[in-house]
Amino acid sequence: MSAPADPPSPEQPPPLVRTEGDRRTLEFMPGDIQSEMRLSRPDALVLAYARAMMCFALFAPRPHHIVMVGLGGGSLAKFCYRRFPRARITVLELRADVIALREQFHVPPDDARLRVLHCDATRWLAANPGQADVLLVDGFDASGLPSALSSARFYADCRRCLRPDGVMVANIFTYDPDYVAAVQRLRAAFDGRLAWFRGIAGNNQILFAVRPGAAAASPGAAERRLLRILRPRGFGWAWTNRLLARAVLAWLSRRAV
């Protein structure tokens, strides 16, 4: 059961939906695009950061339960719902006015595999340890990354919510004033098991962290893949990493999961 959600701050403006031709966007402030959808291909991932977050499949290719912090326009939820048909998907969204837009962004209705919960993600994660194989943290408001979603306590709860050898993916703007400190807190929470693909999504830094396996002295499959593919200070060049993200999407689109 989800924890009760606090109402959005009265200072928060209502979300703005814009449709121009085949393009529909969700914005919290005019011009500040949170999510984008092509009406002709509503399940496709348009924005580079969303494609980059799907690189979790390199480390956890067959998750049983995917938990997401933040619904937005539902791009990640829709893609995972279609491409991981054996996975349950739980989306934690604080704002009822964002959830109310799900039909406009073609987010499927709740069923046995998909649940969109109106709740405070910090409370839900703290109350549900050992739930997720993959945890995607993509929660923003009109001011950027809320401090509650980048605190040491929050990252510790993220680690506890993961099953052994589970993978967390965090989206943080590199120009956020708290960026360096947030990365340090995330690294500490996961005992240094943190890495990223350099420049894969412009100013969006997509960070991958792995919870140690049941036997901490013997790395699990996800951690072995992380260490083999990535380096602690970032891997590769921006253009090759962007191509990699597109290749991962193509692989997910054609494989039998």
Question: Domains in the chain and their CATH numbers?
Answer: 48-254 (3.40.50.150)
∠ CA 247-249-251, rounded to 5°: 70
Distance (Å, whole) CA 249 – CA 232: 24
Distance (Å, whole) CA 20 – CA 228: 43
Residues, the chain, total? 257
Predicted confidence (pLDDT) per residue in 35-59, tens digit: 999 999 999 999 999 999 999 999 9
- What pLDDT is attached to residue 143? 75
Predicted confidence (pLDDT) per residue in 14-43, tens digit: 999 999 999 999 998 888 899 999 999 999
- What pLDDT is attached to residue 132? 98
Residue carrying the six token digits 């005019």: 30
| N-term to C-term CA, the chain | 29
CA dist 249 → 48, 54, 64, 129 (Å): 11, 7, 19, 29
Residue 10's contacts (CB-CB under 8 Å, 6 or more residues apart) are: none
CA dist 153 → 157, 159, 185, 207 (Å): 6, 10, 9, 18
Q: Which residues of the chain have pLDDT under 70?
A: 1-11, 214-218, 227-235, 255-257
Q: Looking at the annotation, which residues are catalytic?
A: 138
